[in-house]
Every structure is written in structure tokens, then in C-alpha cells.
Amino acid sequence: MSNAVEIRDLEYRAGKSFEIRELALNVPSGSMYGFLGPNGAGKTTTIRLMLGLLRPRAGRITVLGGEIPREAPRVLARTGYVPEQPHLYQTLTVDEALRFHAAFYRTWDWKWADELLGAFGLDRTRLLARLSKGEMGKLEMLLALAQRPELLVLDEPTDGLDPVVRRDVLTALLEYVSQQNATVFISSHLVHELERICDWVGVMDRGRLVAELPMHSFKSGIKRLRVANAPALPGDTPFVVLSREVSAADAETWIVRGWQPPMRQYFEGVGANLRDIIDLDLEEGFVELLRTFRVPQS
């Protein structure tokens, strides 16, 4: 499988308090890649590095086969970007913003732009300064989609939008992906939203990538186990033990990653009794990964 985005050994420092260290990331071509992390984790910084808006101290970034930042102009011509904060001139009308944006992209599709204007209920004559946050969010997505990009990079595109607007924006996004087989890299803290639409997930915290794997593996592979007569030392386990806590006099709760049904045999081999296996949703798994990742650093 080829990758639309590859990052290797990336290093970046912002002041004295934040740095990205040894970042390696792979976004498969044609995937919907969800980029999760708490505020301040480094998601937006990673996106800006990916697009050549910031310069790394070390490492290699390849996007759509082009080296960043050296080949950024060629790559950005094929990339749609919705930033975390609106970046449009507030004195323009909606129509003027479309014409301004279209001038930079040979692939601009006016027919589809007009269809999206109607679907989103945007008035061509309205000044951007008078748009609501939801209307601005729709316009930002329209501008990114109408250029018919191979890669869409979306930084918190639905943050602060009401459920109806969020649905409209995501519907347009999914329709485009189904038509064009485009790659989408979407950063968000709305975990359940990504769970519904993404097939890959990367989790970032404190400038490091905590996990990167297919969504189905993330959801099915992180479990909460109830274990009786647990060994003092787990030894060589076939899964990763993220945490273990005493939950009763003779039982513990284990959070594990990489679980497969045949791994029950491990507990029989160490004289323990596996009482229960509990599925975690994406948000619970996300929280457990972050909690475990932070323990050694606290």
C-alpha cells in the first residue's frame, strides 16, 4: 500500500516548552486518517510542518510523492486545506472569496462549487464579516473541496459547529471521498465523530505519536480484562499491558492493547483466571492510551 503522507524522524522545537520528537507517521493513500490528541499535543504543528508552513529541525516529510518543503508548491496545488482558524479576507463577499480562491487552482470545479453553495445555503452576496461560525465553516470546506484535491488536510473542521452544520459538512466530505478516492487527514478532538468516518487513526500527545493503526484494530484490540489471582509480574505477555489496578480482594482490572481471543491461554499458563473481557469504545481507548503514555513522564 502506498502512502499519501510519510513522515520520518521529524524534529521540531517551538520555544522552550514544546517539541516534536522522532515523529514517524504514515497516511495510506485513499484512507480517512483520524489524527487524535488533546489540545497542545502538537496536531496543528504537525499539519503545518506537513504543508511546508513550518520548517523542521530534522527529519523527512513526503506528501503526494513530493518532498516538503522543497516541493511544497507542486504538492499544495493538489491539496485542499481547512485550517483551525478562518484565514479569509473579511471584506470579501462569498462570491469574491470563491473567485479569489479559484484563481490559484487549475482543477477548480465551478459546477460543483455552485452545487455546494446551494447545498450549504450560502448567499453569494453576503460579506464574510457577516457570516456565522457555521456558515464560515461551510465556506472553508467548500473552498477546499471545489479545487478537487487529491489530499484533504482538515484541522478541527467541525470544531464549535452545531450538529446540523457538522452533518452537512461531513456529508459533503464523504460524498467527495466516495467519488474521487481522495485521501483525508482530519485532526479532531471529537473522538466519536472520527470513529464513524475514519478507517485509520493516529494518536498524538506531548509531541510524540502514541499509536497508529487501522481503526478496526484500535477498536477491537484494546480491552478491559477482569483477572482473578493475577501474577505479581505479568512476564512475557502476548499483548501490551497498558495498566493494571486492584478492583477487589482477589481481582484486578487490566487494560491491554493488541488483544486476540487465543490470548486467553496466557492466563491459564500463569495460573490466573480471566473472568471477563470488556470492549472499549474509541474514546475510552484513547483516554487509556494517553493515561498510560503519561505515567512514566509524571
For residue 221, the model assigns a pLDDT of 86
Least confident of 5-9, 11-15, 85-89, 103-107: 85-89
For residue 28, the model assigns a pLDDT of 97
Of the two residues 72 and 220, the one the predictor is more confident about is 72
What angle, 0 to 180 degrees and rounded to 10, lies between the N-to-C axes of helices 94-102 and 110-120?
Answer: 150
Average pLDDT over residues 67-92: 94
30, with CB counted inside 10 A (0-12, 13-18, 19+), is middle
For residue 284, the model assigns a pLDDT of 86
Is 1's pLDDT higher than 80? no
235, with CB counted inside 10 A (0-12, 13-18, 19+), is exposed
Is 45's pLDDT higher than 80? yes
Average pLDDT over residues 193-200: 89
pLDDT band at residue 218 under the 50/70/90 scheme: confident
Cα separation, 224 vs 15, in Å, equals 39
The answer to whether the CB of 285 falls within 8 A of the CB of 219 is yes
Is 237's pLDDT higher than 60? yes
* Exposed e or buried b per residue across 195-211, where buried means at least 16 C-beta atoms within 10 angstroms of its C-beta: bebbebbbbbbbbbbbb
Least confident of 202-206, 218-222, 223-227: 218-222
Average pLDDT over residues 186-213: 90
For residue 193, the model assigns a pLDDT of 81
For residue 298, the model assigns a pLDDT of 38
Residues with Cβ within 8 Å of residue 147, at least 6 apart in sequence: 80, 101, 102, 105, 107, 108, 109
Q: pLDDT tens across 239-286, in order?
A: 989 888 998 778 999 999 889 999 999 999 999 999 999 998 888 888
Name the average pLDDT for the chain: 92
Q: Write down the domain spans for the chain.
A: 3-206, 218-297
CATH ID of 218-297, from 3.10.20, 3.30.70, 3.30.530, 2.60.120 = 3.30.70
Least confident of 51-60, 123-132, 136-145, 167-176: 167-176
- HSE (CB half, 13 Å, CA atoms) of 292? 20
For residue 297, the model assigns a pLDDT of 44
Percent of the chain with pLDDT over 90: 70
The answer to whether the CB of 146 falls within 8 A of the CB of 109 is yes
Supply 165's cell numbers.
Answer: 452544520
Average pLDDT over residues 109-119: 95
Query: The domain 3-206 belongs to what CATH superfamily?
Result: P-loop containing nucleotide triphosphate hydrolases (3.40.50.300)
For residue 160, the model assigns a pLDDT of 80
pLDDT band at residue 66 under the 50/70/90 scheme: very high
Is 296's pLDDT higher than 70? no
Percent of the chain with pLDDT over 70: 98
* Dihedral class, residue 233 (left if φ above 0, else alpha if ψ from -120 to 50, else beta): beta
Average pLDDT over residues 9-13: 96
Q: How many CB atoms lie within 10 A of CB 85?
A: 9
Of the two residues 159 and 297, the one the predictor is more confident about is 159
